[in-house]
Amino acid sequence: MLKELRSGYTVTNLSGLEYSIGPNSDFTNADLRGLDLSQTDLHGSIFAGADLSFTELSGSDFSLGVFNNEEFGPAVIDYATMIDTVFEFADMAGVSMFEANLTRANFFYAHLDGACLNSCNLVEACFSYSHMFRTDLRSANFENANFDNAVFVENMLLDFLEAARWEVTSLSYTELEILMLLLGLQEWRKRQIDAQYDVEDDDAFWEVDNDSYDD
């Protein structure tokens, strides 16, 4: 049986400001650092420009959440604990989650373009169908993570591959393997073009030489 999530309560931040907590709330530019918002229903809420660093968010539902907009920019969720947290269909473009614990977090169809997941614990996390253009995934632990159908094009590919841990990670139908293949084909094509130029230069030499001989 699923545990019922909390809602309809209030919290006070470090500056003494009080916030009502629940779904479809507006936390734009809010200072929520260090608060315990675990096991809370916050689906559909707005967190653009908010600071959630060092927060406890485990088991909470942020599905359909908006964590970025043009006026206030992306939220910051660095060093937060988000075990079993749900971010399905959330807009998290540009959001910083540096060194956060996202074990078993669910990013199904989440928008993570330009987000920072550097040094995160993402063991058994789900990124199925998520968009991860230019996402910073360096030094993250992806053991048993699920990236089925995720989109990686234009990612920080080399840093990602060299620094991330990939034990038993699922990459079915991602563009990562395809992109690596294309990079290989691109290098092959470059060598082919270089060889073609060499042949053309040789032909040009012989043409000049033949013209001179005919004269």
Residue 151's pLDDT is what? 81
In a domain, 103, yes or no: yes
Give the pair of three-digit tokens for residue 85: 């947290």
Residue 117 belongs to domain with CATH number? 2.160.20.80
In a domain, 188, yes or no: no
Number of domains in the chain: 1
In a domain, 195, yes or no: no
In a domain, 199, yes or no: no
Residue 80's pLDDT is what? 98
* 157, β-bridge pairs: none
Q: Where are the beta strands (DSSP E) in 90-211?
A: none
Residue 176's pLDDT is what? 52
pTM above 0.85, yes or no: no
Q: Where are the beta strands (DSSP E) in the chain?
A: 9-12, 18-21
Q: What is the Cα–Cα distance from 215 to 210, expressed in whole angstroms?
A: 9
In a domain, 67, yes or no: yes
Q: What is the Cα–Cα distance from 32 to 105, expressed in whole angstroms?
A: 20
Residue 153's pLDDT is what? 59
In the 8-state DSSP scheme, what is residue 132?
Answer: -
In a domain, 198, yes or no: no
In a domain, 136, yes or no: yes
Contact yes or no for 70/89 (Cβ under 8 A): no
- Domain of 117 in residue numbering reads as 1-174
In a domain, 180, yes or no: no
Q: Say how many C-beta atoms besides its own lie within 10 A of residue 106's C-beta.
A: 22
| Rg (the chain; Cα; Å) | 24
pLDDT tens figures, 73-99: 999 999 999 999 999 999 999 999 999
Low-confidence stretches of the chain (pLDDT < 70) are 1-3, 153-215
